[in-house]
Each structure stands twice: as C-alpha cells, then as structure tokens.
C-alpha cells in the first residue's frame, strides 16, 4: 500500500493539494486490489481448468493404454494359439488319418464277415432245400448242358448218393439238351450231395454249392 503524506498547508506550489493527492492514491490502491483479485480469480480458474484437462488427458491416456495393453495381450494370445495349432496340426492330421484307416479296415472286415455269414446261411438253406427238392440238382444239370451245348463228349459227375437216385433222370435230360453228344453219368466222392460237375474236352462247368457260393462271394467282395 502507498504511504499517504498529510500536511497542514493549504495548496502546494506545484498544483493540487495533498488531500487531493491522498484521495487519488487511495482510489488507485482500491482499484489495484480489485484488479489483483480478478487476476487471482482468473488464475484459479486457469489452474482448475488445467487440472481438469490434465485429469481428462490422464483418463484418456489410461484408456488408450488399457486398450493398447488388451490389444497386445490379444495379439500375443493369437500368436500362441496359432503357434500351438501349427505344432498340433500334423498330429491332428495323423490322428484323423489313423481314424479313417481304422474305419476303412473295420468296414472291409465287416463286409467280409457279412459276406461269409450270408454265404454260410445261404449254403445251409440251399442244402435244406436240396434234401427236400432233388429236382434242384436236375435243374443245375440242365443249365450245365445248355452251357456246354455242341462241345462233344461230356461227363456229368454227381455225388454217389445222387448218382444212384438221379442217374436215369439226368440221362433223360441229357438226351433232350445234348442229343448228339456222348454223355456219361458218373459218381465222384469229391462232389457233395446236391451238386454236379460237367466235364468236357474244353473245360469244366462246376455247379457245386461251394463253387457257386464262392463265385458269389468273389463278386460281392
């Protein structure tokens, strides 16, 4: 605050009175104090605004840092997963191939087993039918003679049991389907009951049950 000098004199030699000067200084001091108060208030506002801006910047930086950290972690995890998958892929492919190979082998085994089972069941059924219907053997003889028509001399081989019971009927069939051929009907222990085998100079037509089923299994395999 400025020092105020008071005097008892009336008017100074230079102009205004000291009382007027004192009044002017007091007024200027009040104005200065008011101005300083305004400056202080503005300074407080500036500092507070700066603090708020700093807090916002800090919050943004923390959020950005968190996002960057999360992105970095996700990238690291992706790289680790990709690396593990690259190392596991050959093993997974090998395991898948083993499963597929095992599946195919099982299917082949099942097919073979199913065919063998079906053939065994068919053979059992056919033998049962042959025991009740001997004409089935005669039908096979007829088919064989038709296949061998025009081949000259022939020998029809039957099981001993069938040769003794079906010989006459076989000769009658041969006279119809191979009238010009010399056909003999013989017994062979190698022929199972119900089957027959036609032998010519050009080859053999085997109509035994086992042979027919073997051909069927070969076609199905």
Q: Across-strand partners of 158?
A: 187, 196
pLDDT number for residue 36: 67
Please provide the DSSP assignment of 6-51 as one string. Answer: P-S-SS-TTSS-HHHHHHHHHHHHHHHHHHHHHHHHHHHHHHHHHH
pLDDT number for residue 170: 94
Block means of pLDDT (10 residues each) for the chain, length 221 residues?
Answer: 46 50 62 71 71 73 74 76 76 80 82 72 70 83 88 90 93 90 92 91 88 78 69
As a whole number of angstroms, the distance between CA 169 and CA 171 comes to 5
For the domain made up of 133-220, the CATH class stated in words is alpha beta
pLDDT number for residue 66: 77
In the 8-state DSSP scheme, what is residue 137? H
Q: Are 188 and 159 in contact (CB under 8 A)?
A: yes
Please provide the DSSP assignment of 149-179 as one string. Answer: TTS--EEEEE-HHHHHHHHHHHHHHHHHH-T
CB < 8 Å & 24+ apart, contacts of 88-93: none
Nearest to 206 by CA among 184, 186, 220, 191: 191
Backbone CA torsion sign across 140, 143, 145, 151: negative
Cβ-proximal residues to 9 (8 Å cutoff; 6+ apart), any chain: 18
Q: Which helix (H) or strand (E) holds 129?
A: helix 18-132
Q: Are 156 and 196 in contact (CB under 8 A)?
A: yes
Whether pTM exceeds 0.75: no
What count of other Cβ atoms lies within 10 Å of the Cβ of residue 28?
Answer: 11
pLDDT number for residue 7: 45
pLDDT number for residue 2: 47
Q: Are 177 and 140 in contact (CB under 8 A)?
A: no
């Amino acid at each position: 605050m400025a020092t105020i000098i008071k005097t008892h004199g009336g008017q100074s030699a230079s102009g205004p009175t000291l009382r007027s000067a004192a009044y002017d200084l007091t007024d200027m001091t009040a104005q200065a104090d008011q101005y300083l108060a305004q400056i202080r208030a503005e300074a407080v506002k500036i500092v507070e605004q700066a603090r708020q801006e700093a807090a916002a910047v800090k919050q943004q930086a923390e959020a950005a840092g968190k996002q960057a950290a999360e992105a970095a972690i996700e990238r690291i995890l992706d790289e680790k997963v990709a690396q593990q998958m690259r190392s596991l892929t050959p093993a997974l492919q090998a395991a898948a191939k083993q499963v597929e190979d095992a599946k195919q082998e099982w299917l082949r085994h099942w097919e073979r087993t199913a065919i063998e089972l079906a053939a065994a069941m068919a053979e059992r059924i056919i033998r049962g039918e042959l025991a009740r219907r001997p004409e089935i053997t005669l039908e096979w003889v007829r088919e064989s003679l038709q296949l061998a028509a025009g081949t000259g001399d022939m020998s029809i081989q039957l099981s001993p049991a069938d040769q003794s019971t079906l010989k006459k009927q076989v000769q009658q069939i041969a006279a119809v389907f191979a009238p010009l051929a010399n056909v003999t009907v013989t017994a062979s222990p190698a022929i199972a009951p119900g089957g027959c085998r036609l032998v010519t100079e050009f080859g053999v037509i085997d109509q035994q049950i086992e042979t027919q089923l073997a051909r069927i299994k070969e076609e199905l395999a």
